[in-house]
Amino acid sequence: MGVVELTTLGWDGYAARWASLHGVDPRTTPQPFRGWLRLSYGLARPFARLGATPGILLAASLALSVVVPVFAVFGGWWTLGGAVAVLLAVVADAVSRAVAVLTEQITRLGYVYAALVERLSEAAWLGALWLLGAPGPVIVACGAATWFQEYLRTRTAETGAVLVDGSVLGERSPRVAVAVLGFVLCGLAGAASDTLARGAAAFVAAVWLLVAVLGLTHVFTAVRRAIG
């Protein structure tokens, strides 16, 4: 692929370019989204200098997510590794987007790949919860609510509308938080007994479903406000 030349963008220049691409200025967005974008920008600069491409980082993100169910199979303390893998996968995904902005490698196909990796990653996390003992129907409901929320967001973006309401409820970050903290809980519970681990997995899946339903409702309301 060759070595990618890093553009000399400071934070303000990066934020301006991000705003032109996404319709949202990272410098004015609420916390913790602003801090997350600033962190991904800081991490992306050395990766770009080393020649890492958005595709490589995106592949790393997916690989880390696919490992999560493996930790779930081993159970017990191993499940804590799943929490670490989820966190690293999300960081890799964010850095991939930041590198794409820094190095001007934004493509339509890149957007498609990024969305696909996010959905496959979340499917892997939900699969891990199922392996840990969460009820299958709840896992399916989690996946459906999550998918429909992101589908609605994508279809809305195609109309040219921008969903900006100052809330993270309809974003992916709450689901990431549920996954990371959930696998920590399952790991601690699994170290005590398999029964506790199954109960913890069921609880985490229920929380995920609640977050997904609330997020879907929030996005739907924002869509009506933006388009209607």
Domains and CATH numbers, the chain: 11-227 (1.20.120.1760)
222 confidence band (pLDDT: 50, 70, 90): confident
How do residues 192-221 score in pLDDT, each as one tens digit? 999 999 999 999 999 999 999 998 888 888
Q: For residue 169, what pLDDT is reported?
A: 65
pLDDT > 50? residue 4: no
What's this model's pTM, rounded to 2 decimal places? 0.89
How do residues 164-175 score in pLDDT, each as one tens digit? 554 556 678 899
Q: For residue 184, what pLDDT is reported?
A: 98
How do residues 130-167 score in pLDDT, each as one tens digit? 999 999 999 999 999 999 988 888 777 666 655 555 45
* Length in residues, the chain: 228
- Give, in order, the Cα–Cα distances in Å from 21 to each of 36, 76, 98, 107, 189: 17, 43, 12, 11, 43
- Helix then strand then coil, in percent of the chain rounded to 5, is 80, 0, 20
How do residues 72-93 score in pLDDT, each as one tens digit? 999 999 999 999 999 999 999 9
